[in-house]
Amino acid sequence: MTAPELQLGQIVFAATPRLSSISEADASRPRSNGKWSRKEIVGHLIDSATNNHGRFVRAQFGDDLVSPTYDQDAWVRVQNYIRAPWAELVTLWSQYNLHLTRVIAAIPPEARSRRRFHHNLHDVAFRTIPASEPATLEYLIQDYVVHLEHHLAQIFAPDEGEMTL
């Protein structure tokens, strides 16, 4: 299995040109009725990077994996990602995630693998872990990558009603 920081870097390098090739109009259009646009999905991924950055750093200073939750819809709405220039969002997403590859790579193995019996991954993780089960920072890092891949797949999927060849 590839280390998550290497996998994250590979994803960023592969996805950035694909994201950059999406037009401003296509990035602004909602994916389907009542859903986020590509801009808003990338904005959500920026918010995820921001929140997880703090989680990855703070987890190295304590014995738990408890971190604040956030209302993802409210964060996307109040930051008005729909009005942001697409190229700026792509650049910010790309650069922030490249920074995270360095942050993750610098985490000592013992901090990554230490079992944490007090966590809130039942509330903050994409693939939740029951509060009654221990969790590791390594799991949270891998979960971050899986979450990112999930949303990139949404971005690159054809719009509703769009034909694929």
Domain holding 88: CATH number? Answer: 1.20.120.450
Given this model, what pLDDT does residue 2 score?
Answer: 67
pLDDT of residue 158: 87
Q: CA 111, 113, 117 angle in degrees (round to 5)?
A: 90
| Cβ atoms of 76 and 40 closer than 8 Å | yes
Q: 54-90 burial by CB neighbour count: b if 16+ within 10 A, else e? A: ebbeebeeeeebbbeeeeeeebbeeeebbebebeebb
Q: Give the structural domain span for 149.
A: 4-156
18, part of any domain: yes
| pLDDT tens per residue, range 155-164 | 999 876 554 4
What letter does residue 158 receive in the DSSP assignment? P
- Is residue 161 included in any domain, yes or no? no
User: Would you say residue 98 lies in a domain?
Assistant: yes
State both tokens at 151.
């949303």
In a domain, 83, yes or no: yes
Residue 95 maps to a domain: yes
Tell me if 30 sits within 8 A of 76, measured CB to CB. Answer: no
Q: What is the pLDDT of residue 19?
A: 98
Domain annotation covers residue 31? yes
127 in a structural domain: yes
Cβ atoms of residues 86 and 22 within 8 Å: yes
pLDDT under 50: residue ranges of the chain = 163-165
pTM of the predicted protein model: 0.93
- Count of domains forming the chain: 1
Asked if the structure places residue 61 within a domain, the reply is yes
